[in-house]
Amino acid sequence: MSLQENTKNIKYFKEYLNLALLGGVVVLSFILGCLSVILNIENYPVVIRSAFKSELVSKNDDKNIVASRNGSKYYYSWCSGVSRLSEKNKVFFNTAKEAIDSGYEKAKNCPGE
């Protein structure tokens, strides 16, 4: 064999080796994913903490509804819009109905009931 043919064969060998390694990584990742599901017998609850306060945010707490005295929208306490409200202008409500009865409407970018 000539040097040119040997170089071409080595090039093809490297390409096949790279494909084989990639395939091995894909198969190994799939197997590890399956094992993680099989071995995870107990599901642990996820606890979300407020990004702005070191307290648990619960949908059952009082005063979950927050609005601004100067605004027309209300937010749930876990919404990002609450961080933009001035502390001195915040108004708290126990229910969404109380906020609506006070003339506020729900902010469209705030997920919740």
Q: What is the pLDDT of residues 41-78, one digit of tens each?
A: 555 555 555 555 444 444 445 568 999 999 999 998 88
Whole-model pTM: value is: 0.45
CATH fold group of domain 48-113: DNA Methylphosphotriester Repair Domain (3.40.10)
Q: How far apart are CA 64 and CA 76, in angstroms?
A: 6
pLDDT of residue 5: 77
The answer to whether the beta carbons of residues 71 and 105 sit under 8 Å apart is: no
Segment 15-39 mean pLDDT: 88
Domain boundaries, the chain: 1-44, 48-113
As given in the structure block, the two tokens for residue 23 are: 């395939």
SS3 at position 47: coil
Smallest Cα–Cα separation from 110: which of 54, 53, 66, 63?
66
